[in-house]
Structure 1
Amino acid sequence: MREMLTGGPLDYLTGDYLAELTMLILGRDRMKDASRGYARTFLRQLEDSLDLALEKGVRIVTNAGGLNPAGLAAAVRELNPRAKVAHVEGDDLRHRGFDGALTANAYLGCWGIVECLNAGADIVVTGRVTDASLVVAPAAHHFGWGREDFDQLAGATVAGHVIECGTQATGGNFAFFTEIPDLAHPGFPIAEIGSDGSAVITKHASTGGAVTVDTVKAQLLYEIGGPRYLGPDVTSRFDTIRLTQDGPDRVAIAGVAGEAPPDTLKVCVNTLDGFRNSMTFVLCGLDVDAKAALARQQLADAVGADGLEWTLARTDHPDADTEEAASALLHVTIRTPGPKRAKAFSRAAVELALASYPGFTLTSPPGDGSPVGVYRPEYVSQDSVEHVAVLPDGTRTTIAPPNVRAVDSAPAVEDDSPVPGGPTRRVPLGTIVGARSGDKGGDANLGVWVRDPAAYPWLAAELTVDRVRELLPEARDLDIERHPLPNLTAVNFVLHGLLGKGVAASSRFDPQAKSLGEWLRSRYADIPEELL
């Protein structure tokens, strides 16, 4: 926060602290103490930076309020009574009776924040709003946009989507990261937004990393679905986005079309679903399969086979020159209704140490296990949620719902350009293909793009749903959506159910699908030599 305030000029500083998993963590925090439920890291940052922000006239908009925005707003006032603090509430829908809900929070839009800024707030604290709303609201306030200025709202939404994950837009987690200078400390991105909703993504000059068309494109493809990106204030057409390099570390975003928002709000619901624990057996040298079979039998006899999930990772190499390279890893996770069995599971694994396969060892001591959280999306009508802005003077203002309409899916736009032919070479896809992947509950998103527009017809023809199933066998039996985005030379896939019940419940090796794109890039394909 201090780096952003001292590195160059800013009008607004935004902070996105919430993910689906974070809401679960905050829910458990609130169970222990009803006065909690907000991101305390934000307060620690303000202790160092609030006076500086007020001195510079930089206004702060954050969703760090989590499940308790009023509590965080009160805590901010204690840090500096001179600060004009407002907050937004109404997203908490636990009273609506969602089955088993530990948390149930609607994704609100920008207009409650706008009301707070109109009232002169220096700091606006929200609960669960869409990530992009933190950026859309300052722009709507500054330019006086109306509820139906859909193109402008969509442009700001796209800018907000780009900067919401911080340095993922400046080289962090970037497929071609070896080309990025000074990635040891990439700078945070900045959105310069114009009155028409167009934007330039940049960063402070003194910081590392880079802002290029491809670093921005990678973030645009992160955790999205089809071409219509649904939000509470506007439906943004990702198939209309135009990106151009506007100078060093400057990428212009233009042409974004907006449509009316959908008639429903998404609700993030988290429930508790028993307990889990994990252990990993190291299987070194010969007879790996037999060693794994013995460990499985012994642990199942000790605690019962119900709820045990096993994965054997054959990381071992024959005739290895290090012990680690000679070893495979046998992972086991238990899911069980009671904490006692979760605790007994890891102790039972340790108690096999002198009575199992040769070379028996584990990668960790026994643990007590942890609660399992399950995320699911629900939907409620926009006009059924009371969206409230609590202004710096305590006035409560109810925000009217927007004009909405049911949203149809946009038709797929396939590329009909000739596919490059001629001689091919079998090389990893990542030679010419970039990717970014992530999670949405139990689904995985996989955005894939090429940097050379001449390669896009080949990409669009090569990466069919069946080809993705072939390249990623773990997805062979899943329902997969495919969304071409020719304007971004990209194809986006949604792999339904790859992550089971979501990150907090998944025993998958990569429970948030963060490496899914890199796995795809490592697979080999026959690529036309003219593209290489």
Structure 2
Amino acid sequence: MSEPVRREPLVVASFSGYYGDRITALDEAMAGDPIHVLIGDYLAEITLAGISARYRKDPTQGYADYFVRQVQPHLPAIAARGIKLVTNAGGLNPRGLADVLRGLIREAGLSLKVACVEGDNVLDRLGMLQAAGHPLSHLDTGEPLSAWGRTPISANAYLGAWGITAALREGADIVLCGRVTDSSLTLGPAAWWHGWQQADWDRLAGGVVAGHIIECGPHATGGNFSGFAVLPAITYPGFVMAELAADGSCVVTKHARDGGAVTTDTVTAQLVYEIQGPMYLNPDVTVDLGDVRCESVGPDRIRVSGARGAPPPETTKVAIFATEGWQIVSWAFVTGIDVDRKLALLRAQLHSLLAGSVDQLEVTAFGTPAAQPESQAEATVAVRIAACASERDQLTEEQFFLKLNSLYLWSVPGFHTDSGAERALKPQRRIEYWPALLHVSQLSHRVTLEDGRTLEMPPHPQAAPAVSQPVHPEPGRSATDSRRAMQRAPLGRIAYARSGDKGGNSNVGLWAAQPKAWPWLRETLTTDMLRRLLPQAQDLEIVRHEFPNIRAVHFIVRGHLGRGGSTNLQADQVGKALGEFLLARQLDIPVELLVDDYAGERAPAPGRPTAAPSSPTAAVRS
């Protein structure tokens, strides 16, 4: 069964950006504006490792179980309105999730067809692949997997969009995937709707860009946005939508009833999020982001165009995880004057006290006491105490918590813990990440349809060696700067930022809030300046790129997150707050560029709701 080619834009609405996202989001999407396709992204890299333990204990598990609770009330409306639903909630067990949904569909007397996309799980083939000459080398270090010395608990290759497209062409109403790329959830339906072919490079590239923008839901409507202060109804920002045209361009928007806003800046924030540079490698197309443009075409409507495509790489990423010991975290507080000396003594006491029982200890102070505190809280610094060890017994209550609790009478004045909080008594498993590459010829990308038929998705016939990121030379300083009036101020007075993670690397994009600030921002944000603004990066490799069309400078800070967020002892494990830290750093900025408030594109405020629906069912519109 093949759907006819459509020419009107395909309307895709997001309802999940990660496993644990707002559970009412599907209710909100179903109660919102008319849509053709719903997409739900549940699989951050660490999520697969987390659900693998349940899957090993119970082979009927291994998927995002609360997706079932989200979708069950809406199955009749999905059927009545002809909406397609595509999600990677299948995790490690798309077939198991398909069986559950089919049972619910039968109970409801519906005729929805469910398909599942598999082939990403290569855990059981790791030994065979290595024996056949595929070293699964670490993307950052180049070491072969055989040098790791750990037993993997999960290994999932990133599949592309054509399995989703094939399922929709065969009449599937719901497509359940494992580890496909996040953007595949959008690209697959777009290729089905518009009849795109495998060599429609620019169109496919546009579909990937649209998918990248909407994959994180409220990220593009004001969530985690540096300029949140100027947005309306930001208390409860809605989930994002995209209208994909046949030429690959799209209009990013949102449900009119929902809070938040869609502006060029909220879209830019997602464009620079978790990328490796201008060349965005995808299993279906290599996307050149260098010419992508964002322009406002109406309230909460941003047109995104200019993506260019080329054949995809002949390799795809494989996310491999293994257990690596245990970790535990507790908090304490220090109040009063001489905080620096108090913290130095507390650190020395903790290292002495825990020596021999932990392998690694990190003691981090948060905040600075007010110069004239009006309350005890304003005179207090929070202290995070994180430890890891190879064996669980090294972090038991006796070995960790009781030692920490013994400090009350002999540590620094003003030391205390929160006796009302839950005690840190149970160590947690540490999961180490190994990102590798695998040739696409080694994958078995397949679709199982409602009637039991299986379709094999062969590797792209034009897949080629991966292209390298372009090299952008460091800018020189303008001679006119010496004649400009300058003022010491936070970088956030003229710029926005968004940061994320790629394994052990942090990425951060910073862009000018106003066009007039772009030349100065571009010249100022050199690699050397980033090292000054980010002291932790002094000895790390930094890669810098420019995106003039969106007024952005983008950096990759290699190794900033160690071996990856899952084993990183920092509180900000995956670098989500790095961009905001950089915006808080002060430097000399031309006075004429400074603004009193975040003054990028201000969104209109037509009186949208700011609160959540009173109940999940209250917002549902069948």
- The answer to whether TM tops 0.5 is yes
How many angstroms apart in 1 are the aligned matches of 2:246 and 2:374? 63
Q: Taking structure 1 as reference, are residues 168 and 291 closer, same or farther at Cα in structure 2, changes over 3 Å only? A: same
Instruction: Name the stretch that deviates more: 213-222 or 495-504.
Output: 495-504
How many angstroms apart in 1 are the aligned matches of 2:344 and 2:519? 48
How many angstroms apart in 1 are the aligned matches of 2:527 and 2:48? 33
Return the letter of the residue paired with 1:435.
Answer: A
1:210 aligns with 2:261: yes
Q: Taking structure 1 as reference, are residues 417 and 170 closer, same or farther at Cα in structure 2, changes over 3 Å only? A: farther
Q: Is the 8 A contact 1:316 1:326 kept in 2?
A: yes
Following superposition, the deviation at residue 172 of structure 1 comes to 1.0
1:60 aligns with 2:80: no
1:12 aligns with 2:65: no
Tell me, what secondary structure is at the counterpart of 2:556? Answer: strand
1:90 aligns with 2:148: no
1:335 to 378, 385, 388: 388
1:162 aligns with 2:213: yes
Q: Taking structure 1 as reference, are residues 524 and 408 closer, same or farther at Cα in structure 2, changes over 3 Å only? A: same
1:146 to 191, 197, 208: 197
1:437 aligns with 2:499: yes
Q: Is the 8 A contact 2:332 2:382 kept in 1?
A: yes
Q: Determine what percentage of the aligned residue pairs are the same residue.
A: 43
Instruction: Name the stretch that deviates more: 405-414 or 268-277.
Output: 405-414
Return the letter of the residue paired with 2:459.
Answer: P
1:111 to 162, 167, 189: 162
- Alpha-carbon displacement from aligned partner over 1:25-84 (angstroms, at most 9, x marks no partner): 112222332221111121110122122111111010000011111111111111112321
Task: Please list, as runs of the form range in 1=range in 2, the aligned pairs for 1:237-386 lying within 5 A after superposition.
Answer: 237-289=288-340, 291-305=342-356, 306-313=359-366, 315-318=368-371, 320-343=373-396, 344-363=399-418, 364=421, 365-386=423-444
Q: Is the 8 A contact 2:512 2:552 kept in 1?
A: yes
Which residue of 1 is the match for residue 467 of structure 2? 408
Which residue of 2 is the match for residue 173 of structure 1? 224
How many angstroms apart in 2 are the aligned matches of 1:416 and 1:189? 39
Instruction: Name the stretch that deviates more: 318-327 or 147-156.
Output: 318-327
Tell me, what secondary structure is at the counterpart of 1:80? Answer: helix
Q: Is the 8 A contact 2:478 2:523 kept in 1?
A: no
Which residue of 1 is the match for residue 561 of structure 2? 499
Q: Is the 8 A contact 2:210 2:250 kept in 1?
A: yes
Following superposition, the deviation at residue 169 of structure 1 comes to 0.4
How many angstroms apart in 1 are the aligned matches of 2:480 and 2:158? 44
- Alpha-carbon displacement from aligned partner over 1:308-341 (angstroms, at most 9, x marks no partner): 2222345334553321222233322111111121
Q: Is the 8 A contact 2:32 2:256 kept in 1?
A: yes
How many angstroms apart in 2 are the aligned matches of 1:357 and 1:254? 59
Q: Is the 8 A contact 1:427 1:526 kept in 2?
A: yes
1:135 aligns with 2:182: no
Following superposition, the deviation at residue 454 of structure 1 comes to 2.8
Tell me, what secondary structure is at the counterpart of 1:411? Answer: coil
Q: Is the 8 A contact 1:63 1:126 kept in 2?
A: yes
Instruction: Name the stretch that deviates more: 417-426 or 54-63.
Output: 417-426
Q: Taking structure 1 as reference, are residues 529 and 286 closer, same or farther at Cα in structure 2, changes over 3 Å only? A: closer
Return the letter of the residue paired with 2:583.
Answer: R
- Alpha-carbon displacement from aligned partner over 1:253-293 (angstroms, at most 9, x marks no partner): 11211011111000111111000011222122245455445
Q: Is the 8 A contact 1:27 1:102 kept in 2?
A: yes
Following superposition, the deviation at residue 386 of structure 1 comes to 0.7
How many angstroms apart in 2 are the aligned matches of 1:241 and 1:293? 49
Which residue of 1 is the match for residue 140 of structure 2? none
- Alpha-carbon displacement from aligned partner over 1:373-398 (angstroms, at most 9, x marks no partner): 11221100011111011111111111
Following superposition, the deviation at residue 232 of structure 1 comes to 0.3
Tell me, what secondary structure is at the counterpart of 2:290? Answer: helix
How many angstroms apart in 2 are the aligned matches of 1:276 and 1:112? 39
Q: Taking structure 1 as reference, are residues 32 and 470 closer, same or farther at Cα in structure 2, changes over 3 Å only? A: same
Which residue of 2 is the match for residue 461 of structure 1? 523
Q: Taking structure 1 as reference, are residues 287 and 449 closer, same or farther at Cα in structure 2, changes over 3 Å only? A: closer
Structure 1: runs of 5+ lacking an equivalent: none
1:194 aligns with 2:253: no
Instruction: Name the stretch that deviates more: 499-508 or 155-164.
Output: 499-508
Which residue of 1 is the match for residue 575 of structure 2? 513
Structure 2: runs of 5+ lacking an equivalent: 1-25, 128-144, 595-622
Which residue of 1 is the match for residue 65 of structure 2? 40
How many angstroms apart in 1 are the aligned matches of 2:479 and 2:324? 49
Instruction: Name the stretch that deviates more: 452-461 or 108-117.
Output: 452-461
Following superposition, the deviation at residue 487 of structure 1 comes to 1.6
How many angstroms apart in 2 are the aligned matches of 1:355 and 1:410? 55
Return the letter of the residue paired with 2:264.
Answer: V
- Alpha-carbon displacement from aligned partner over 1:411-441 (angstroms, at most 9, x marks no partner): 3456799686322222211111010011112
Which residue of 2 is the match for residue 398 of structure 1? 456
How many angstroms apart in 2 are the aligned matches of 1:107 and 1:165? 18
Which residue of 2 is the match for residue 450 of structure 1? 512
Q: Is the 8 A contact 1:315 1:329 kept in 2?
A: no
Following superposition, the deviation at residue 354 of structure 1 comes to 4.0
Q: Taking structure 1 as reference, are residues 530 and 384 closer, same or farther at Cα in structure 2, changes over 3 Å only? A: same
Q: Taking structure 1 as reference, are residues 464 and 345 closer, same or farther at Cα in structure 2, changes over 3 Å only? A: same
Q: Is the 8 A contact 2:328 2:424 kept in 1?
A: no
Q: Is the 8 A contact 1:279 1:362 kept in 2?
A: no
Q: Taking structure 1 as reference, are residues 159 and 416 closer, same or farther at Cα in structure 2, changes over 3 Å only? A: farther
Q: Taking structure 1 as reference, are residues 475 and 73 closer, same or farther at Cα in structure 2, changes over 3 Å only? A: same
How many angstroms apart in 2 are the aligned matches of 1:287 and 1:180? 40
- Alpha-carbon displacement from aligned partner over 1:138-169 (angstroms, at most 9, x marks no partner): 01011111111110000010000000000100
Higher RCO (C-alpha under 8 Å, 6+ residues apart)? 2
Tell me, what secondary structure is at the counterpart of 1:158? Answer: helix
When normalised by structure 1's length, the TM-score is 0.96
Tell me, what secondary structure is at the counterpart of 1:239? Answer: coil
Tell me, what secondary structure is at the counterpart of 1:494? Answer: strand
How many angstroms apart in 1 are the aligned matches of 2:243 and 2:382? 48
Instruction: Name the stretch that deviates more: 253-262 or 92-101.
Output: 92-101
Q: Is the 8 A contact 2:476 2:523 kept in 1?
A: no
Q: Is the 8 A contact 1:16 1:63 kept in 2?
A: yes
